């Protein structure tokens, strides 16, 4: 017991130095400890002094040590941060649920602050009864819970032109995955006596200055769309459409209209700016694809990745990543370490939900040799995520949207990963 | 123009009935499905507590047919205020008109600061004019002129969403004039053109036939929905391109990207007869486990040499990412290893060795069994500061095997 001393500032400093060395050095501390670890043998401040009281943090934020786990933007991508995008820190997250505070944002005229009291939702057009709902009205409809991914159609869009930004946050971070609480859209339609013939459209519009509006075919609208007001158990965040947004499972994020203020039943697609000038895919011959709504199966390794180098050196290693498909459930994920010559089937963290992120793991032993890491998603319809060059053969390089190709990280023997393209 | 002239007048009356207060719900005519659902709701507690209840407890909301009487009728003025979207055939357009000449002035005043006097775009702001015949090019220029299929969209978007920061402030006539001017700046109309609710819908845009409906299901899904290859899927794999930008992620947020100067030279080549790269997490497996098994019984010296060299070939997979051997082998990220035994350390022409190896060459130190074993056991300990980042050969038999293998390649 003689080693236990009074806690001191110096002991604390020594303690944190030991942590820093342990984190940076490639040698695992466990089998190389020759001297007793002061973090164990010396009384630490946190073990001696009392911590924060329950009245200190009425709504908690992540501990300061995690302050690098944040959304990040790339300034030069757009003319103004108000009509722009930032990216989810996928490299630092695990499991499948994206915390709202670091879930990517995409606005066309900025995120607005709209009070529940000022919220109105109108349904008009080809309906028997044009109606106006308040926020409270929405909460009186029967509601459901579903986990869904929301992916911007432009996620990975830069990569059409080749390996661009070095980080999974930037190549794949225009996606988040939340548990929504909301009213099935068809209940609101029924309420207004909307015509729901298959040849009709639902035009959904937001209350912000971009008045983003998208046409949704009726079959989808009455199938699984939700008018959501909660995400991950709490109110939506301002940047995700507080107080009410549309959820269009498996389909491109731009259709998930935020600050949803109006639903119009129409006999034609509106052909709004967001479904003509944007969110249409120009193929090599200059002909554009419109109404490319569904997000095809896709996956990416989040660790190791450029922002998550391997620090522990050779030995046991977990390769981890995310897979998803707008067509349904993820059936399987394969991982390759040699750029696609050989594949091995990964383990799913848990059986994934339909149209939701699924976590996969490959538990392996790294021998320290360089690798070309790839993941390949296969969904329940048998769709296999295609290689980059094969997707380019079909579409060229100018499609901007819907790039769901296989991503490659080159892991060198120092454990550093880089975004690359392979033959 | 009215969008839905056929809406029955009686609809409004029915709404009033449905939303007519607290007792409206009771007065509603539920269909059979809803009545059933309501009764079910009363039974839920027992049903769910019943221990024998099989099947999932979670269920979607019931598919009942009738309205619940939530919400209130939308007034005509309210619909008029919010239902302002314009359909491709011009339905929804308010009456009005505007000339190119008028539009030029308004555009200069309200739009040019971002989009340029002629729609050419200032800095990174969107370009609105030009780009014709570029859609099949490397970098297509998609503008109102070159890309947008319907003129209704231009009117709709500008009237609702522009100018950026003051959306919804343009009058109908101003909007007609601005749209006329954008057409003019795209050389699509003459200077005396006047746009109105009467001629807008008939205006034929340049790229009106440039769109087809999503055909991924036809063009692609058949190819992608095939059994995936699991091994030997390619002969070799090389890195063909490295990340253009390296990204720093500073504490304060955002990101800083800098050009990546690294080239693909010297990066390893992966091949089909290479190691099945990802060993299981199970202990005791791995590429060289075979080399470690003790041979029993008689074996000729020749057989043994052959066997060792074969094992060594397998061990060399750990080196192949950085070293080449054999006829014509050159330097990769490590020097070639032909004729290694007896070779002066750090002596391969054209390879840029670290200081330790350069000093060793000065001293004329030579590779032999002992030095190679020491180096390959722990490169960093044998040669301080070596560039060879390799954790060392630790498994039984690996050293002997790699020596036997490398011994077969003479200096050319």
| Interface predicted TM-score of the whole assembly (ipTM), two decimals | 0.89
Q: Is the pLDDT of residue B280 over 80?
A: no
- If you measure CA to CA, which chain A residue comes closest to B320? A369
Q: Hey, are the CB atoms on B88 and A290 less than 8 Å from each other?
A: no
Nearest to A386 by CA among A406, A360, A408: A406
CB B197 within 8 A of CB B96: yes
pLDDT one-digit tens code per residue, B86-141: 999 999 999 999 999 999 999 999 999 999 999 999 988 999 999 998 999 988 99
Please identify among residues 278-307 of chain A the ones whose CB lies closer than 8 Å to any CB of chain B. 280, 282, 284-293, 296, 306-307
Contacting residues for B111 by C-beta, under 8 A, at least 6 apart: B162, B163, B178
Q: Which residues of chain A have pLDDT under 70?
A: 1-32
Best residue of B161, B205, B231, B379 to probe chain A, by most A CBs closer than 10 Å: B161
Among the partner-chain residues A190, A335, A365, the one whose CB lies closest to the CB of B67 is A190
* A1-53 pLDDT tens trace: 334 334 343 333 333 333 333 343 444 445 567 899 999 999 999 999 999 99
B220 contacts on A by Cβ (under 8 Å): 386, 394
Q: Closest to B140 (Cβ–Cβ): which among A163, A271, A282?
A: A282
Residue of B290, B393, B409, B296 lying closest to B342 (CA atoms): B409
Cβ neighbours for B277, distance < 8 A, ≥ 6 positions apart: A336, A337, A338, A342, A369, A371, B270
Taking only the tens place, the pLDDT of each residue in B366-409 is 999 999 999 999 898 999 888 888 878 877 788 999 999 998 88
On whether the A294-422 domain is CATH 3.40.50.300, my answer is no
B300: CB partners within 8 A, 6+ apart: none
The answer to whether residue B206 scores a pLDDT higher than 80 is: yes
Among candidates A140, A192, A422 on the partner chain, residue whose Cβ is nearest the Cβ of B238: A422
Q: Do A287 and B11 touch (CB under 8 A)?
A: no
**What length is written for chain B?**
412
Residue B330 CA to residue B323 CA, distance in Å, equals 8
Q: What is the mean pLDDT of residues B253-276?
A: 84
- d(C-alpha B235, C-alpha B152), whole Å: 53
Q: Is B369 helix (H, G, I), strand (E, B) or coil?
A: helix
For A63, B284, B293, B304, B396, the CA distances from B289, given in Å and listed in that order, are 45, 7, 7, 17, 9
pLDDT band for position B41 (50/70/90)? very low
Tell me if residue B253 falls in helix, strand or coil: coil
H or E segment to which residue B259 belongs: strand B256-259
Q: Summarize the confidence of residues B312-335 as an average pLDDT.
A: 83
Nearest to A416 by CA among A302, A303, A301, A310: A310
* Candidate from A70, A163, A292 with C-beta closest to B214: A292
A344 touches chain B (CB under 8 A): yes
Task: Say yes or no: domain A105-285 is CATH 3.90.420.10.
Answer: yes
Q: pLDDT class for B163, splitting at 50, 70, 90?
A: very high
CA distance linking residue A140 with residue A227, whole number of Å: 12
Euclidean distance between CA atoms A418 and A372, whole angstroms: 9
Q: Is A418–B280 a contact, with Cβ atoms under 8 angstroms apart?
A: no
**Is residue A43 less than 8 Å (CB to CB) from chain B?**
no
Whether residue B43 is predicted with pLDDT greater than 50 in this model: the reply is no
Enter the tokens of residue B191.
């200077």
Enter the tokens of residue B224: 């992608």
Domain chopping of chain A, boundaries: 105-285, 294-422
pLDDT score for B2:
67
- pTM (2 d.p.): 0.75
Other C-beta atoms within 10 Å of A54: how many? 6
Number of other residues whose CB lies within 10 A of the CB of residue A263: 27
Question: Cβ contacts (< 8 Å) between B136 and chain A: which residues?
Answer: 284-286
A203 interfaces chain B, CB cutoff of 8 Å: yes
Rounded to a whole number of angstroms, the CA Rg of chain B reads 38
Which member of A129, A133, A165 has the closest CB to residue B18?
A129
Counting residues of chain B whose pLDDT is more than 70, the rounded percentage is: 79
- Cα–Cα dist A299/A161, whole Å: 19
């Amino acid at each position: 017991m003689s080693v236990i001393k009074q806690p001191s500032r110096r002991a604390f400093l020594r303690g944190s130095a030991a942590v820093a060395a342990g984190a940076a050095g490639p040698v695992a501390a466990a089998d190389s400890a020759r001297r007793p670890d002061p973090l164990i043998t010396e009384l630490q401040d946190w073990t001696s002094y009392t911590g924060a009281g329950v009245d200190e943090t009425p709504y908690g934020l992540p501990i300061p040590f995690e302050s690098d786990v944040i959304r990040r933007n790339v300034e030069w991508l757009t003319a103004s941060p108000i009509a722009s995008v930032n990216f989810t820190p996928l490299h630092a997250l695990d499991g499948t649920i994206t915390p709202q505070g670091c879930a990517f944002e995409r606005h066309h005229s900025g995120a607005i602050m709209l009070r529940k009291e000022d919220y109105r939702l109108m349904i008009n057009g080809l309906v028997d009864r044009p109606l106006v709902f308040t926020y409270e009205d929405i909460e009186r409809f029967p509601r459901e819970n579903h986990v869904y991914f929301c992916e911007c159609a432009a996620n990975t869009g830069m990569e059409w032109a080749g390996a661009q930004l070095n980080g999974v946050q930037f190549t794949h971070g225009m996606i988040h995955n939340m548990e929504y609480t909301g009213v099935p859209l068809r209940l609101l339609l029924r309420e207004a006596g909307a015509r729901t013939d298959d040849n009709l459209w639902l035009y959904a519009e937001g209350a912000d200055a971009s008045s983003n509006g998208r046409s949704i075919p009726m079959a989808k609208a009455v199938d699984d769309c939700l008018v959501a007001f909660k995400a991950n158990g709490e109110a939506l965040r301002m940047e995700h459409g507080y107080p009410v947004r549309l959820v269009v499972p498996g389909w491109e994020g731009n259709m998930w209209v935020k600050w949803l203020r109006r639903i119009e039943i129409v006999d034609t697609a509106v052909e709004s700016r967001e479904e003509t000038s944007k969110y249409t895919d120009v193929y090599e011959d200059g002909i554009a694809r419109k109404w490319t709504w569904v997000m095809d199966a896709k996956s990416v390794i989040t660790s190791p990745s450029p922002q998550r180098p391997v620090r522990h050196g050779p030995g046991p290693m977990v390769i981890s990543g995310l897979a998803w498909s707008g067509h349904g459930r993820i059936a399987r994920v394969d991982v390759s370490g040699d750029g696609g010559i050989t594949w091995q089937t990964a383990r799913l963290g848990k059986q994934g939900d339909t149209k939701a992120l699924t976590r996969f793991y490959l538990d392996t032993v790294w021998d320290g040799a360089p690798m070309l890491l790839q993941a390949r998603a296969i969904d329940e319809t048998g769709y296999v995520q295609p290689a980059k060059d094969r997707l380019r053969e079909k579409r060229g390089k100018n499609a901007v949207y819907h790039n769901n190709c296989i991503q490659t990280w080159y892991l060198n023997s120092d454990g550093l990963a880089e975004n690359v393209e392979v033959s | 123009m009215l969008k839905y002239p056929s809406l029955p007048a009686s609809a409004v009356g029915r709404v009033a009935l449905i939303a007519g207060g607290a007792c409206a719900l009771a007065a509603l005519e539920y269909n059979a499905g809803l009545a059933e659902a309501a009764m079910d709701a009363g039974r839920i507690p027992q049903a769910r507590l019943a221990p024998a209840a099989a099947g999932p407890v979670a269920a979607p909301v019931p598919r009942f047919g009738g309205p619940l009487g939530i919400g209130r009728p939308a007034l005509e003025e309210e619909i008029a205020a919010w239902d302002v979207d314009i359909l491709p055939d011009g339905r929804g357009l308010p009456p009005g008109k505007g000339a190119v000449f008028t539009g030029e002035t308004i555009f200069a005043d309200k739009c040019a600061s971002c989009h340029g006097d002629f729609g050419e775009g200032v800095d990174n702001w969107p370009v609105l004019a030009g780009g014709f015949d570029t859609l099949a090019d490397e970098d297509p220029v998609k503008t109102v002129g070159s890309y947008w299929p319907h003129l209704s969209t231009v009117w709709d978007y500008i009237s609702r969403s522009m100018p950026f920061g003051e959306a919804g402030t343009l009058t109908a006539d101003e909007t007609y004039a601005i749209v006329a001017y954008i057409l003019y700046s795209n050389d699509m109309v003459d200077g005396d053109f006047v746009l109105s609710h009467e001629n807008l819908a008939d205006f034929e845009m340049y790229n009106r036939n440039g769109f087809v409906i999503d055909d991924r299901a036809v063009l692609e899904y058949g190819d992608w929905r095939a059994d995936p290859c699991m091994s030997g899927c390619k002969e070799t794999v090389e890195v063909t391109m490295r990340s253009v930008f390296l990204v720093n992620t500073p504490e304060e947020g955002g990101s800083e990207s800098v050009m990546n100067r690294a080239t693909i030279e010297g990066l390893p080549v992966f091949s089909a007869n290479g190691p099945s790269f990802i060993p299981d997490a199970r202990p005791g497996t791995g590429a060289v486990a075979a080399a470690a098994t003790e041979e029993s019984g008689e074996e000729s010296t020749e057989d043994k040499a052959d066997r060792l060299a074969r094992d060594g070939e397998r061990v060399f997979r750990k080196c192949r990412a950085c070293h080449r051997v054999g006829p014509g082998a050159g330097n990769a990220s490590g020097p070639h290893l032909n004729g290694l035994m007896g070779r002066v350390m750090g002596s391969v022409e054209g390879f840029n060795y670290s200081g330790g190896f350069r000093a060793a060459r000065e001293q004329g130190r030579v590779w032999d069994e002992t030095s190679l074993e020491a180096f390959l056991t722990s490169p960093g300990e044998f040669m301080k500061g070596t560039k060879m980042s390799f954790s060392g050969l630790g498994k039984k038999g690996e050293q002997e095997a790699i020596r036997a293998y490398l011994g077969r390649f003479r200096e050319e």
